Structures are given as C-alpha cells and as structure tokens.
Amino acid sequence: MKPNGRGNGAAHGPRNLLWLQSGGCGGCTLSLICAEQPDFLTALDVAGIHLLWHPSLSEATGSELHAVLGAVRSGSVPLDILCLEGSVIHGPNGSGRFHLQAGSGEPMKDLIAELCQLAGDVIAIGTCAAYGGVTAAGSNHVEASGLAYDGSEAGGLLGPTFHARSGMPVINISGCPIHPDWVVETLLQLALGTLTEADLDALGRPRFYAENLVHHGCPRNEYYEYKASAEQLSNLGCLMEHLGCMATQVHADCNIRLWNGGGSCTRAGYPCISCTEPGFERPTHAFLETPKLAGIPIGLPTDMPKAWFVALAALSKAATPQRVKMNAVADYIITPPSATYGKGRK
C-alpha cells in the first residue's frame, strides 16, 4: 500500500500505521483477519487509519518495502502507529544477529528500536511482543523479550521509562493469540483520542478487556460454584480443580467477548492456560494438571483468601445437587433440571 505523506490526525488526513513481525508464529495476524463487524480493513477505514505496510495484507515486498521504511526513517512519511507482532530477538549475546531484516542484513531489534522512537504510538500485538511469550520459553537461547517488558519485569528492548511521541507507553495487547476485537477497539480509541495511560493496567494492557477475568461469563460457572469438577477434558464440569484451568486468575474477557462469534477455550472444553499473562510460557506445572497442597489447589481465585475457599468449597460440595454432580463427570447432560410448573399445571 502506498505511503501517505500527510500529517497526523483525522483533520489532516489518515493516521499512518506500520505493522512489523518479529520473533513469533504470525498467529495474532491469523486471529486478526477473523475480525467481524467490522473486518480489520474496514475498521481501519472507519478509524481513518492508513496501512503503510503489513506482512500478510500488503502487496509490497523487497525493495518496495525498503522504500516505505526509508520514507518513514527519513521523516518524509510520518509514523503515527507502530504495531509489532512477535518478540524482539536480542541474541546472540545482545547482537540481534539471530534475526536480521531480509535485504539489509540489519538486526531487526535495531530497526524496531529506531521506529519506536519515531512512532506516535507503539502497540505490542500479542504476548510475545508484550512480554516475550512462547519465543522466550525454556532457556531462551535466542534472548527474546517484549518491547517494554521482559516477562513481568519492566525493561525489554525499550526500557522501563519509554514513552512514544504521544506521551503513551507501549500499549500491550497481550494474548496468544490476541482477540481481534482487542486490536480493533484499541485502534479506534487511539483514532478518537480517547485512550490514555490511565486506561492501561499495571502491565500496560487496555483495561477494557484486562479488567475482566476469563472466569466471567464461563458457561461452566454453575459447576464451579458447586465445585463439581470434570475429571477429563470431555466432561462438562469445572476444569479448575483437576485439569489446570486458570480462568479465575487470568485477566481477559474471553467468555464475554466471544471468539468468532461464539467460542472460547473453556466453551470448547479446554482449560484456560493464562495466555494473556507474562510468563505463561513457563508454567510451574503441566497445563492440564492442577497442583495441590493437602488436596487444595495452589492457584486460588484472584482475591480469594485460602481459608474462605476451603470453607466455601466444603459447603458447596455438600450442597451440590445430584443433577450437577452427575453431569459434571459426563460428556453430555444426562440429568436435566427438573421442570417447575405453575399452579394448576401438570
């Protein structure tokens, strides 16, 4: 797509957005192009955002891309929004030479750092770009980090004090992958000038999705309330007690803002693995196991004192209806709720 040389803001022409991919799988883009009502490109048009380049959505390659980058670096084309998908690769030994830009041989980390200084706003797309993510898993031999975080520690490529030209820090849209609406809504808010630093949580995530828990809206909540637990993945019961689900601790609105119009991990029968949180790629236990101490899950719900949880769990299990108890370990509803008829009905 051709560069737009006009200034910032809707009053002076479209805002220019450049999207780069670094150390990642491209899954966030695959999720993003599933955006609906509106789709991603329509959302950009509505927001008055001009896409300078995207690795999957743009035709420009090779010398054409380098011309776009050259225009941005020279200042002849303003860079209003920079989106990075994938972690920043620092290795080996901080040189960045594990990941070089095709056609120039320049370490991508150096190009990214330069463009961040030029950008009006900087958005980390996905947990890799935000905190290091899967690319930083294990011993992290490639020395991967996020833009402004290394795991949960502020720093990363840009350092803990970085702010873009707008005065905003890096906006971390974490998730593996991101929900497409998280990106679309963030861009719309930036275009309208309604997103401020106060609208980000302590880890730089937009509060509109990060101030919810994945647990909110989960269709398994009746089973959770009675501590009626699934024993294998196909069961209908709560996935927390035995199968490692972390939905009561993880910040995202996955069960409120459904995926592809009607899905989420827990609705599909798979436990939440905490993919919006830094460090999820280095779990202290297997994803499908719930670590326990004296039979009590170690990872308790957010803000839940252990003594309260133990007491409530005991009471809940004692009060569990037989219907809920039986259905929890079944693969489909075998005992439906009893029908309650009005007076005079049979």
The domain limits of the chain are: 15-206, 212-333
| pLDDT for the residue 344 | 58
Decide the pairing of beta strands 153-154 and 149-150: antiparallel
Residue 9's pLDDT band (boundaries 50, 70, 90)?
very low
Whether the link from the prior residue into 38 is cis, omega within 30° of 0, is: yes
- Looking at the predicted structure, is the pLDDT value of residue 230 above 50? yes
| Cβ proximity of 144 and 132 under 8 Å | yes
Question: What's the whole-number mean pLDDT along residues 218-228?
Answer: 92
CA distance 229 to 231: 6
Q: Quick one: what percent of the chain has pLDDT higher than 90?
A: 77
- Would you state the torsion angle of the CA atoms of residues 243, 248, 251, 254, taken in this order, to the nearest 10 degrees? 70
The pair phi, psi for residue 89, each rounded to 5°, is -95, 115
Of the two residues 32 and 3, the one the predictor is more confident about is 32
Per residue in 171-222, pLDDT tens? 999 999 999 999 999 999 999 999 999 999 999 999 999 999 999 999 999 9
Q: What is the pTM of this model?
A: 0.90
Residue 11's pLDDT band (boundaries 50, 70, 90)?
very low
| pLDDT for the residue 346 | 53
Question: What's the whole-number mean pLDDT along residues 297-309?
Answer: 70
- Looking at the predicted structure, is the pLDDT value of residue 81 above 90? yes
Question: What's the whole-number mean pLDDT along residues 116-128?
Answer: 98
| pLDDT for the residue 331 | 94
Of the two residues 296 and 247, the one the predictor is more confident about is 247
| pLDDT for the residue 342 | 62
| Cβ proximity of 44 and 15 under 8 Å | no
| pLDDT for the residue 253 | 97
Question: What's the whole-number mean pLDDT along residues 286-290?
Answer: 90
Q: What angle do CA 222, 228, 233 make, to 5 degrees?
A: 100
CA distance 242 to 290: 5
Question: What's the whole-number mean pLDDT along residues 91-118?
Answer: 96
- CA nearest to 278, candidates 114, 94, 144, 83: 144
- Looking at the predicted structure, is the pLDDT value of residue 3 above 80? no
* Enclosing H/E stretch for 88: strand 88-89
Give the E-state strand segments of 99-216 in sequence order.
121-125, 144-145, 149-150, 153-154, 171-173
CA distance 46 to 188: 8
Q: Does domain 212-333 have CATH number 2.60.40.1930?
A: no
- Looking at the predicted structure, is the pLDDT value of residue 33 above 50? yes
Residue 341's pLDDT band (boundaries 50, 70, 90)?
low
- Looking at the predicted structure, is the pLDDT value of residue 89 above 70? yes
| pLDDT for the residue 7 | 38
Question: What's the whole-number mean pLDDT along residues 149-155?
Answer: 96
Question: What's the whole-number mean pLDDT along residues 130-136?
Answer: 97
Of the two residues 308 and 26, the one the predictor is more confident about is 26
* CATH for 15-206 (3.40.50.1820, 3.40.50.700, 3.40.50.880, 3.20.130.10): 3.40.50.700
| pLDDT for the residue 10 | 43
